[in-house]
């Protein structure tokens, strides 16, 4: 087993207020300096030291220093011999729901604590084969169920942008809050994450970084701990659109181990970053534009539309009436699939086993009651109800029909415009406990992200605005199915036009 170091100790000191340094290297800049002798080992040591110094961020559940240093030494030798791979020596963090060979994988849950896979997920395998150095597994809401990392069994991650303002109570978003925090705090060059209903884009918005979710099936799901199989998709959190494209080139592609993996060659992400020129059209749904939730959201809309225009685009209002039903549709489907996927955690095959059961039924009951967090139990119970006899047609089957209508509505709108755009979240990052008394209010935080997962479309969240309280807010660029490269290209133009 590879040596690991836990980073969520309760006695850890609060990091300094300058935790979010500006001007940090991105992957493109890293490649320009990576030929210097010993630079890979030097960079890994710096990132591991930063992760330890900023350990109260709780961005990582574990780090893997021995494994990372060995990989860095190999990369230094390959660079010396002129055998550079696509991501040679680049320091990457990995969300803890990607199975990693001989490294504990928990999905943020006590029920999987101690689970050491003997296989590597396809996405992380692709990452390693391209020369990346993985320094650890990042924190997350249990099984991806949450929008703040408060549902992690290992404690919440903190938001580096909040800490830079002297606030230790600001959530980094979720469920990929640890990955977003690690990138924003410069503990790595980029991070892998997953997005079921916004779990890449919302934390990217909260932490002021870039979060890209590709078309469903562009990245393999094999070896990812499942939450909702028809919605889960691997993606990237990075400091720039260019960095996201570089990582996507390494991890995307068909995988025969995954029946939902798309066949054919993967898109050329980095090579297509300048493929969209001026003259593109961006649609904004009236149903979203007319929402007056708060003054920050109104200002974000204005900043976004100004940036699109400055980038050479044209903004048009479009009608998407079915999108108002996306939130309940998503939660019925996601909870139902979670109920099925999480049935395997019974204390018999792997992970945590309760010592309290005196019969097989009691073993199941005690293990699941003790091993799952409250929010996970809530979603399993709700999903089981939606799939139960007498309710399947009324809830799950009807939700699938609405899902199809939402997909058709997206397809129709893309006959009028090239891209769609709306905020990644209705608010800047909220404080821990803000939604504790009302779980439904937390679900409403996903109002702008979940329809894209239902339709399986590509989307990227980019930071374009700073709220009145000093915290960032991101906007999403959404493309048609398999329009991934165009999404990143236009996002790059808009970010430059916004001065970011």
How would you write 17-44 as a 3-class SS string? CCCCCCCCCCHHHHHHHCCCCCHHHHHH
Spatial CA neighbour of 117 closest among 98, 136, 135, 144: 98
**Percentage of residues in the chain with pLDDT exceeding 70?**
95
Q: What pLDDT is attached to residue 25? A: 74
- Which H/E stretch holds residue 124? helix 122-129
Q: What pLDDT is attached to residue 428? A: 97
Superfamily for domain range 1-500: Amidase signature (AS) domain (3.90.1300.10)
Spatial CA neighbour of 203 closest among 214, 193, 215: 193
Per-residue pLDDT tens over the stretch 2-60: 444 444 433 333 333 333 343 467 888 888 888 889 999 999 999 999 999 999 999 99
Per-residue pLDDT tens over the stretch 204-220: 999 999 999 999 999 99
DSSP 245-257: HHHHHHH-S--TT
Per-residue pLDDT tens over the stretch 104-155: 999 999 999 889 999 999 999 999 999 999 999 999 999 999 999 999 999 9
Q: What gap in Å lies between CA 340 and CA 364, rounded to an integer? A: 15
Average pLDDT rounded to a whole number, residues 365-373:
95
| Residue 242 DSSP symbol | H
Q: What gap in Å lies between CA 385 and CA 228, rounded to an integer? A: 16
Q: What pLDDT is attached to residue 2? A: 41
Question: What is the rounded average pLDDT for all residues in the chain?
Answer: 93
Q: What gap in Å lies between CA 376 and CA 144, rounded to an integer? A: 9
The whole-model pTM stands at: 0.94
Q: What gap in Å lies between CA 311 and CA 327, rounded to an integer? A: 31
Residues marked active site are found at 95, 175, 199
Q: What gap in Å lies between CA 450 and CA 445, rounded to an integer? A: 10
Cis status, amide bond into 175, omega within 30 of 0: yes
**Percentage of residues in the chain with pLDDT exceeding 90?**
87
Per-residue pLDDT tens over the stretch 422-433: 999 999 999 999
Euclidean distance between the first and the last CA atom of the chain, given in angstroms as a whole number: 42
Q: What pLDDT is attached to residue 3? A: 43
Write out the two tokens for 63: 């780090």
Domain ranges of the chain: 1-500
Q: Are strands 281-285 and 314-318 parallel, antiparallel or unpaired?
A: parallel
Spatial CA neighbour of 127 closest among 87, 98, 99, 95: 87
Per-residue pLDDT tens over the stretch 69-95: 999 999 999 999 999 999 999 999 999
Average pLDDT rounded to a whole number, residues 307-324:
97
Q: What pLDDT is attached to residue 5? A: 42
Q: How far is CA 125 from the centre of its chain?
A: 18
Q: SS3 of 2, please?
A: coil
Average pLDDT rounded to a whole number, residues 259-276:
96
Task: For tokens 């890209």, name the residue.
Answer: 212
Write out the two tokens for 28: 């493109």
Q: What pLDDT is attached to residue 24? A: 67
């Amino acid at each position: 087993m590879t040596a690991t170091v836990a980073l969520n100790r309760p006695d850890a000191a609060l990091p300094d207020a300058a935790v979010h340094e500006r001007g940090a290297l991105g992957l493109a800049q890293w490649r320009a300096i990576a030929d210097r002798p010993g630079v890979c080992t030097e960079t890994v040591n710096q990132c591991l030291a930063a992760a330890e110094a900023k350990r109260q961020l709780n961005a990582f559940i574990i780090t893997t220093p021995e494994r990372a240093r060995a990989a860095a030494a190999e990369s230094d030798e390959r660079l010396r011999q002129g055998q550079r791979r696509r991501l040679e020596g680049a320091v990457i963090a990995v969300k803890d729901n990607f199975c990693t060979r001989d490294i504990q994988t928990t999905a943020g849950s006590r029920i999987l604590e101690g689970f050491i896979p003997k296989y590597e997920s396809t996405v992380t395998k692709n990452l390693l084969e391209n020369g990346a150095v993985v320094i650890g597994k990042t924190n997350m809401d249990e099984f991806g169920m949450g929008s703040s990392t408060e549902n992690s069994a290992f404690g919440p991650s903190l938001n580096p942008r909040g800490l830079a303002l002297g606030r230790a109570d600001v959530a980094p978003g979720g469920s990929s809050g640890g990955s977003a925090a690690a990138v924003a705090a410069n503990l790595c060059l980029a991070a892998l994450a997953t997005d079921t209903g916004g779990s890449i884009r919302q934390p990217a918005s909260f932490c002021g970084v870039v979060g890209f979710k590709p078309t469903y099936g562009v990245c393999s799901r094999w070896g990812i701990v499942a939450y909702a199989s028809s919605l889960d998709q691997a993606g990237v959190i990075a400091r720039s659109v260019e960095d996201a494209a570089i990582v996507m080139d390494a991890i995307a592609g068909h995988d025969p181990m995954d029946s939902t993996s798309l066949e054919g060659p993967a898109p050329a992400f980095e090579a297509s970053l300048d493929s969209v020129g001026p003259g593109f059209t961006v649609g904004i749904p009236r149903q979203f534009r007319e929402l007056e939730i708060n003054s920050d959201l109104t200002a974000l809309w204005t900043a976004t539309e100004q940036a699109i225009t400055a980038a050479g685009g044209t903004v048009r209002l479009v009608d998407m009436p079915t999108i108002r039903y996306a939130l309940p549709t998503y939660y019925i489907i996601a909870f139902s699939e979670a109920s099925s996927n999480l049935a395997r955690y019974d204390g018999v095959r792997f992970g945590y086993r309760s010592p309290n059961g005196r019969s097989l039924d009691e073993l199941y009951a005690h293990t699941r009651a003790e091993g799952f967090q409250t929010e996970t139990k809530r979603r399993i119970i709700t999903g089981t109800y939606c799939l139960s006899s007498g309710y399947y047609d009324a809830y799950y089957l009807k939700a699938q029909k609405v899902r199809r209508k939402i997909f058709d509505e997206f397809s129709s709108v893309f006959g009028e415009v090239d891209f769609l755009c709306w905020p990644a979240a209705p608010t800047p990052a909220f404080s821990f406990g803000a939604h504790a008394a009302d779980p439904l209010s937390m679900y409403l935080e996903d109002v702008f992200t979940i329809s894209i997962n239902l339709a399986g479309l590509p989307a990227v969240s980019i930071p374009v605005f700073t709220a009145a309280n000093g915290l960032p807010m991101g906007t999403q660029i959404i493309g048609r199915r398999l329009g991934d490269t165009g999404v990143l290209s236009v996002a790059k133009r808009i970010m430059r036009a916004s001065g970011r």
